[in-house]
Each structure stands twice: as C-alpha cells, then as structure tokens.
Structure 1
Amino acid sequence: MNSFQRFTNVPARDAKALRGALFIGFRNRIREKNGRLFFSYEGCSFTDLYGAHIRIQTRTVNMHGKSSSEDIIAIKAKVEAIPGAMRRMGWGVAGELMERWIHSPAWVLPIDWKKEQPLDLSVSHLDQQIVRMGWAMSNPRVRVAMNKLRVNMINGPARKLLHDRLDEGTWGGSHRIEFGNQRNSALQLDRTCQSNFEPLGGDMDTMDDVYGGLGKATLKAALIGHASRDVRTGKIALQVTHAGFYIRDTYDFNDFQYLGTWTTNGVLSKTAMLMNTALDGMVSRWKGEPIGNLFNHDFDTYRRLTGFGGDFVLYSDVHWEPMNLLLALS
C-alpha cells in the first residue's frame, strides 16, 4: 500500500486548514470544486494540484475498512518522530508536552472544557508541571501580554468579577477574611481569585517553543490579599497584596488544523512550506529526513489505532508580583 496520495485526494477539511494556516499572510489560496482542489498564487490562473505533484501522507485502509499493521506502524512513526524533531529545534517544552500526550491513555477533551473549568477535573487529565512562567516570560510575546494584563487586571469587569466572587463567598460572621494566598496553585486561583485574562498566541507568531507548545493559550491574573465588608452598608473592599500571573491552556487535537511540514530536524519555516507546496521542489533542500505534512486528524488517527493520545488541561506555575492597592468593589 502506498501511504502517499496525490493532493487531489486530500479531504476538503484539510484544504480549509491550509487556507487558514499554511498560506496565511501570502497572496494565494486553495479552493475545492467538484471534489478537486485548486491552487492560486500571485494572481496566476487556477491550476489543478494533481498536476503539481504535491503530496501528503495519508492513512490507507484495506478493502474491509480496517487499518492494517502497516498503517499503525506508519502513523506511529510519523507522530512519535515529532517530539524529537522539536527538541532538535530547541523546542524543549513543546516536545515534553507532546510526549505527555503520546504516552497518555487515549482520551478526548470535551469541547466545552476549552473555556469552562470542570469542577471534577481528574488529575490524569491535568498537567501543572511542564509549563513554567519563568520559561514563558523569556518570550517577548508573553511579556507584551503581561503588560496588557497588568493594566486590565483591575478594570471595571475585573472589579465586578472580584466583587461577585467575594459576595458569594463564605464570610462566617466575620467582616474581614483572607482572599487567596501565595500557596495556592494556578488551578486554585482560577476558581477563586482570578480577575482578568489576556489571549496569548496567533497564527502570525514567530515559530518558536511557545508557538509549538501552547499555540493559542490564555494568560490570566489573580489578585490576593484581605477583603473587608462594611458592617452598615455591606460594601466590600479588597486590600491587594500580590498579583499572580499564570497560563491556562488545553492540549488537544480536536479541530481541523494544519500543523506544518516536518522533517526529523524540525518544522519548515512558513516561507519554505509555501515554496514546497507550490513548487514541490524543496525536498532536496530539507534538513533531515522528511516526516511529511501534519494535521490534527493525524493525531486522531494515532489515538484510534494505538489506544494512546490523551488530551489534557494544563496550568503553569504562578509568577507573583507584590502590590499595595485598595480596591472598592461595591
């Protein structure tokens, strides 16, 4: 069985992923018509990709619709080569995150977990060790996001959220209570003291360890200190002593997404991927043995065929900064 299919046999969902990722920022596009894919570049007329000899590795099945042992070996080799390629590029955290996914029992993250935190999150579906804020803050994009969050962590919506958290809290007859502490994990802060967030990551970002490991994640801020409630008016104030910054993300492969063109030494640059796709003449210039084009559904195939590949929610540790600020929350 030949594991390579001409690009005209690629599902339209992959064409959509390519439009949104591979060619972003370039004047070109892929479109589907009558079950075939067509490519346009720099104003040229549409050319049938079949004639361009552009290829993508796909899984094949036997005549009974079942995967053969060759299919399992092929997808294992493809997916399990990626963490090593990441490390050769210096993407240590990205490689560790993918290895955690590969070595975990098969499990698919519920779609609503991407935004809402389940109260019964199992430790087997949670990672709080791999991503560290010291590593993240060495990246300029993370530092820019943190500066934005410092400004917005006490804005109007943030104060409203903090008020609601305290108003619904247990005061136990007291008029002064502790509101979080530095011993709390990011997961604990997320449920009790988080005030605001800043989106992190985008398709146009530099391809680096943060890009490969987190993609699009969420940087969050939590404020801790002591809260007081006026005996007569019931108004709540929060004396903030520290601000904690942390990252929350979900590690999954459940959407339609193109993940790049890979070799054993790493991923091709966006420009190289474009040239390789358009001209099919870059293979001789690749550094390392080709692994091929990678899509989210390759990981879904890996999970179905091997019984491994467990999605998970990840939290970083907490970066603390001292503050001395009195917030009137009513």
Structure 2
Amino acid sequence: MTYFREFQSLVDSSEFIHPNAPGAHGVAGYCRVPGPLGMHNFSNVAEKFGALREIAHPLSPSMMNGGVDDINRIAESLAYGPEDIPSTMRKKGWHQGANLMEFRLNGAAKVMTEAAADGSISADEYGAYSTGIVTMDWVESFPRAINAINQLKTILNTPKARDAIKKRILANFANVVISEKTNLVIDNSHLDIKSLHFKWQFQRYRQGSIFETPDALAAALGRFNVMAAIRKAVVADGFIYISEVEIYIRDVFDFSGFQWLACWTESEVYRLGVAPFCSMFTNGSLRDYRIKSGRGMDFLVFSDSRVDQVDISFSML
C-alpha cells in the first residue's frame, strides 16, 4: 500500500483530484501517472503542457478494487516513452526527424558497429540504412547547412584531400601501375549513393554541436557530415583531373555514449532543465528501451546528392 499512501499524501493537499477519490466531494480534476523522474502531479492545468492523460484516480473505488498491479499496468501504458517522440516531432513540424525515429523504432534491435560507423565496411554489408528520408533540397533549407556545404567546397583541394584522392584511386585500380603512360577514365554516375560513398568519398565537413537549439534539422541529424565523393575524373600523363564531385549527407543514427536528449511532452521539447510534466531522455534511455522492447535499429543515413563542377588536378606520381 506504499504506492497508495504516496498518492494519498498529495491528494490530501490538492483541490484538483479525481471526483471519485475519497474525500473529493465531487471536485473535478485529473491525475497524471508518475513519469520517468518519479514526479506525481495532480493539477488540471497540466493539460496546457500536453502531457496530461485522463485516467481514474488510483484511490477511486474502481482502482482500489484492482490493486497495484493494475495501476502499474496503466502507468506503463500511459507514460510518455520513446515511441511517443515521433508524434511530438510531427506536432512541431519536424517530419524528417519523426520519420528517422520511426525507422529506428520499427527495426529489430541492432547495435551500430565501429566498422560501419567509420566506413570500414559498406552500408550494404552492415545491413541497416536509409536513403530516402533526408533530401538535399530539405537540408539546404537551413542556412547553417548551406554554410557547411560551402565550407566543404573550400577544402576539396587541400593536401589532406589530395592524399585521400590518391588512396581512392590506388584502391579502386589496385592492378594498375600509375605512370605517365596510364590513362584512366572514371565515371561514377551509375553508382548509388551507398556505393559511391564507400568507394569514392574523399573529404567531409562536420556540422553542428550537442548544444544545437532544437529545430527540424537538429531533430533529424544532430551533428552530421557533409561528404564529397569523386563523380567524374581522368588520370593521364601522371596527373589526375577531377571535373565533378557529388556532395551529400551521411550520418550515423544511433544513441551511443552519453548525450542529453532534452525533456519531452506530447507537444513540446525542453532543451535545458526540466519543465513540469515532461519526460527526460538521454542516449541511455533509448538503449534501455531497445533492450526492453527488442526494437531499436541503429542505422546509417544517406541523403541524395548534388553534382558540383570542380577543377581539381595534381600529380599522382
């Protein structure tokens, strides 16, 4: 009966209680089941925060006839959980983030491997990826994403990028000895984005931070990488001449390590602190949910691509 006594101590000091509760005397009110923070709230103004669920008060005769197990069952079914996050995102207009979260929640439990995350193995080999949810048209609707793309374009011909290009050429033409007499034509326009990334990606620019103000882009991708891969090039006279690159987004959608994921209600997200009636989530919360439910697939995210005309050339010898 500890559970009941805990509720009773709050009910006695609140005028907003269920009318069927002992001593309520017909006063209309609501009861919210305990959330992840263990807070118990009975004020009917909670409805303004979007997290209120109207249920029979645990001290009502109907619930008293049931018992703690019934209350816990109802509490578990009504409490805001990870499966509710996509709904909140949609209410805020964060549709890409909602689609990505649903994609993860609908997939069987799968933990991102280091090899998949760092690109040592292909997305096809890892076996969990999305290529249709995020588009460059949508990404480029955010000024900070455009800035990241422009920053990437400024580092396509750096010494580091040239070294990466050389490695890509040597890996993809392992049986060819590069010399002044070598002539190669590279046309990757037929490759899908997953294969292009795995075989020909050579430069990237990291955008965002864990302190990003929540918006549609942060909800979908958080910190993400803008990538560049060779689309068209020629190797001749000991030089490489690159005329086209593809620019795209590649991200890892997982919840490894520790990160605060804000406090959520059915209609709002609070980045800092804890607001009344909200449910707090961290990366660990999503991992725990995966263990408990058997759902939660870590996956790779690819956007479509933009073709950019470039003039990059240097000696391969």
Normalised by the size of structure 2, how large is the TM-score? 0.70
- Could you tell me which residue of structure 1 aligns to residue 214 of structure 2? 207
Q: What secondary structure, in the 3-state scheme, does the structure 2 residue paired with 1:314 have?
A: strand
- Could you tell me which residue of structure 1 aligns to residue 266 of structure 2? 264
Matches within 5 A, 1:178-189: 178-189=185-196
Which has the higher relative contact order, 1 or 2, with Cα contacts under 8 A spaced 6 or more apart?
Answer: 1
Distance 2:185 2:122 in 1: 22
Please point out which of 280, 303, 307 is paired with 1:293.
280
Distance 1:162 1:151 in 2: 16
Q: What secondary structure, in the 3-state scheme, does the structure 1 residue paired with 2:132 have?
A: coil
- Could you tell me which residue of structure 1 aligns to residue 31 of structure 2? none
Cα distance per residue 1:196-231 (max 9 Å; x no partner): 11111112323211111111111111133232243x
Given that residues 233 and 244 in structure 2 are in contact (C-alpha distance below 8 angstroms), is that contact kept between their aligned partners in structure 1? no
- Could you tell me which residue of structure 2 aligns to residue 302 of structure 1? 289
Cα distance per residue 1:19-44 (max 9 Å; x no partner): xxxxxxxxxxxxxxxxxxxxxxxxxx
Counterpart residue identity of residue 321, structure 1: D
Matches within 5 A, 1:134-213: 134-170=137-173, 175-213=182-220
Q: Determine if the alignment matches structure 1 residue 84 to structure 2 residue 87.
A: yes
Distance 2:136 2:162 in 1: 25
Distance 1:296 1:74 in 2: 22
Distance 2:248 2:137 in 1: 10
Give 1 or 2 for the bigger CA radius of gyration.
Answer: 2
Distance 1:240 1:297 in 2: 44
Shift in Å, 1:74:
5.8
Counterpart residue identity of residue 193, structure 2: A
Please point out which of 110, 118, 121 is paired with 1:107.
110
Distance 1:254 1:316, change over 3 A: same
User: Whose strand proportion is higher, 1 or 2?
Assistant: 1
Distance 1:180 1:188, change over 3 A: farther
Distance 1:120 1:247 in 2: 14
Task: Specify every segment of 5 or more residues in structure 1 that has no aligned partner in the other structure, as ranges.
Answer: 3-54, 60-67, 284-289
Please point out which of 240, 243, 256 is paired with 1:241.
243
Distance 1:291 1:81, change over 3 A: farther
Distance 2:111 2:170 in 1: 36
Shift in Å, 1:254:
2.2
- Could you tell me which residue of structure 1 aligns to residue 24 of structure 2? none
Distance 1:117 1:291 in 2: 40
Counterpart residue identity of residue 204, structure 1: F
Paired residues, number:
250
Root-mean-square deviation (CA, aligned residues, Å) is 2.8
Shift in Å, 1:72:
5.8
Distance 1:138 1:124, change over 3 A: same
Q: What secondary structure, in the 3-state scheme, does the structure 1 residue paired with 2:251 have?
A: strand
Given that residues 194 and 222 in structure 1 are in contact (C-alpha distance below 8 angstroms), is that contact kept between their aligned partners in structure 2? yes
Q: What secondary structure, in the 3-state scheme, does the structure 1 residue paired with 2:108 have?
A: coil
Distance 2:231 2:185 in 1: 8
Given that residues 119 and 198 in structure 2 are in contact (C-alpha distance below 8 angstroms), is that contact kept between their aligned partners in structure 1? no
Q: What secondary structure, in the 3-state scheme, does the structure 2 residue paired with 1:199 have?
A: strand
Given that residues 207 and 223 in structure 2 are in contact (C-alpha distance below 8 angstroms), is that contact kept between their aligned partners in structure 1? yes
Task: Specify every segment of 5 or more residues in structure 2 that has no aligned partner in the other structure, as ranges.
Answer: 4-33, 39-71
Given that residues 241 and 324 in structure 1 are in contact (C-alpha distance below 8 angstroms), is that contact kept between their aligned partners in structure 2? yes
Q: What secondary structure, in the 3-state scheme, does the structure 1 residue paired with 2:154 have?
A: helix
Please point out which of 302, 311, 318 is paired with 2:305.
318
- Could you tell me which residue of structure 1 aligns to residue 131 of structure 2? 128
Distance 1:196 1:177 in 2: 22
Counterpart residue identity of residue 248, structure 2: Y
Counterpart residue identity of residue 249, structure 2: I
Given that residues 185 and 235 in structure 2 are in contact (C-alpha distance below 8 angstroms), is that contact kept between their aligned partners in structure 1? no
Q: What secondary structure, in the 3-state scheme, does the structure 1 residue paired with 2:81 have?
A: helix
Matches within 5 A, 1:15-34: none
